[in-house]
Amino acid sequence: MKTQAARYLGAALLAGSVFVPTALYASTAANTTISNTVTVNFDDASGNAQTAVVASVSFSVNLVASAPIVSAPADVNPATESTLYNLVHSLTSTANGPDTYNISGASVDSNMDGSATFGGDATIVLGATTLAADFAAGVTTITVPFDGTDDGVVNGLAAGDLIVIDPTGTGEPAVIDSIDESTGAATNVVTITLTAATVNAATAGITIGETASTTTTVTTNTVTTPPSGTHTVTVTYTSAADAGVTATDDTVYTVVRSALTVTKYVRNATTANGTGTSIAFGGETYYDSGVNGNPGETMEYLIVIENPPTYADAQNIVVSDPIPQFTTYTAATIQLDANGGGLVAQDDSDSGDAAEFDGGANIVYVYAGATGSDGAAGFGNGTGGTLAGGETSAVIFQVTID
């Protein structure tokens, strides 16, 4: 009935009136032709039977817009600032015919500098129909009303479409193998063949809705005060046939400020020298610049990773450091101070601790932070550790100048 609001709006406006929608329900597919035929048998005055008179009238069934069923993806925590995320929803029609759904996004923000911004799919079209006849469990063909056009597409449903039979009931998924509309004009019903037999039985009038996925892109804003803020993102699907029919899903993005600082220092372990900013670590002095060395001398690098106080945990911290040109990595010289507990020597192998040296690619990998591990097979595949706010991780390794 709601869809008729638009239909009668013109007349209503002319009459200075507004249409009042009433309760609605759906079970005959949109675009179905309903014909009423009457037969009159009668006699003449003498009681002689006369030829029967037949008359008929028909009308077609309108779309009744209905809120689609929207999946509820998991909240995103942690999310990073100014980052684009794909928010994918699965949408299933519960209407009695095809409808377009307009997609819009909005965010309610807490401790963020602004709202999230949205992009991605603007609309999605979902076909839908209803069952014309009961079917038992284990069938592969079902009948639905003819939509008036023999084009192999019945009320927006086509071969290959993923459908849900009785989306608000048994919710049985199925895939359309083919559609035969050749009988439509004669019988007013068409046959849909499914790729697999049905699990459940169903009765005439039950909805068959197409299901498809949509992607809305959500770009996070920046956190106002560290460590984190939230975007509560609401994606709304609005029926194009009836703007009063909507379905929504809320997804919370907990945005954590990425605040790790990484500083790299070096010292000449053979002949100490340096003029830049220095740092004392493990009883040695390292410089951020002004260090020189002769061929054959050993240089020791120090990488300091800090997560500032008050900031949220930084997770999965992976340090990858290609060995500089004209130097050669000195085997078994990697040491790691995971999160302030002191340096621990690491082996170069692909497993066993929290660091590994990829001799082929000439890269040092260190899984810094607490509980980092190089256990996963293959270089660079380990799991980085965690640094809480205010914690520091340090990595040391040596090279010789060629």
Partner 1 sequence: MKSTITALPVAALLSSLLLLSGMASAAPELSMEIKAEREVTLTDDNGNTRTEKVTADTAAPGDTVLYTLTYTNSGDETATNIKIDNPIPEGNQYLPNSAWGDGSDLYFSIDAGKSFKKASALTYQIDGTTRTAAPENYNAVRWVIKSIPAGTNGSVGFSAVVQ
109 HSE (CA, 13 A, CB side): 19
Residue 8 lies near partner 1 (rule: CB under 8 A): yes
- Do 108 and 141 contact (CB within 8 A), yes or no? no
Least distance to partner 1 from the beta carbon of 241, Å? 11
Residue 9 lies near partner 1 (rule: CB under 8 A): no
Q: Count of residues binding partner 1 (CB under 8 A)?
A: 51
* Residue selected from 6, 10, 63, 292 as contacting partner 1 according to rule CB under 8 A: 63
Applying CB under 8 A, the span of 1-9, 109-117, 263-271, 329-337 interacting with partner 1 comes to 1-9
* Residue selected from 6, 10, 62, 129 as contacting partner 1 according to rule CB under 8 A: 62
* Residue selected from 10, 57, 74, 294 as contacting partner 1 according to rule CB under 8 A: 57
**Helix H or strand E segment including 268:** strand 261-268
Least distance to partner 1 from the beta carbon of 128, Å? 12
Residue 3 lies near partner 1 (rule: CB under 8 A): yes
- Do 301 and 265 contact (CB within 8 A), yes or no? yes
- Do 249 and 234 contact (CB within 8 A), yes or no? yes
Residue 186 lies near partner 1 (rule: CB under 8 A): no
Least distance to partner 1 from the beta carbon of 205, Å? 6
Q: Which structure tokens are listed for 25? A: 């329900």
* Residue selected from 123, 124, 145, 273 as contacting partner 1 according to rule CB under 8 A: 145
Residue that is written with structure tokens 């608000």 in the block: 168
Please state, in angstroms and rounded to a whole number, the distance separating the CA atoms of residues 377 and 356.
11
Residue 168 lies near partner 1 (rule: CB under 8 A): no
Least distance to partner 1 from the beta carbon of 17, Å? 4
Q: How far is CA 11 from the centre of its chain?
A: 43
Please state, in angstroms and rounded to a whole number, the distance separating the CA atoms of residues 291 and 77.
42
In one-letter notation, the amino acid at residue 284 is: E
Q: Which of 134, 196, 198, 128 is nearest to 167 (CA)?
A: 128
* Residue selected from 148, 171, 205, 226 as contacting partner 1 according to rule CB under 8 A: 205
Residue 5 lies near partner 1 (rule: CB under 8 A): no
Applying CB under 8 A, the span of 40-48, 210-218, 224-232, 271-279 interacting with partner 1 comes to 40-48
Q: Which structure tokens are listed for 216? A: 């809305």
Q: Which of 12, 33, 30 is nearest to 21 (CA)?
A: 12
Residue 22 lies near partner 1 (rule: CB under 8 A): yes
Q: Which of 202, 206, 189 is nearest to 145 (CA)?
A: 189
Contacting residues toward partner 1, per CB under 8 A: 1, 3-4, 7-8, 11-12, 15-20, 22-28, 32, 34-45, 47, 50, 53-64, 96, 145, 188, 205
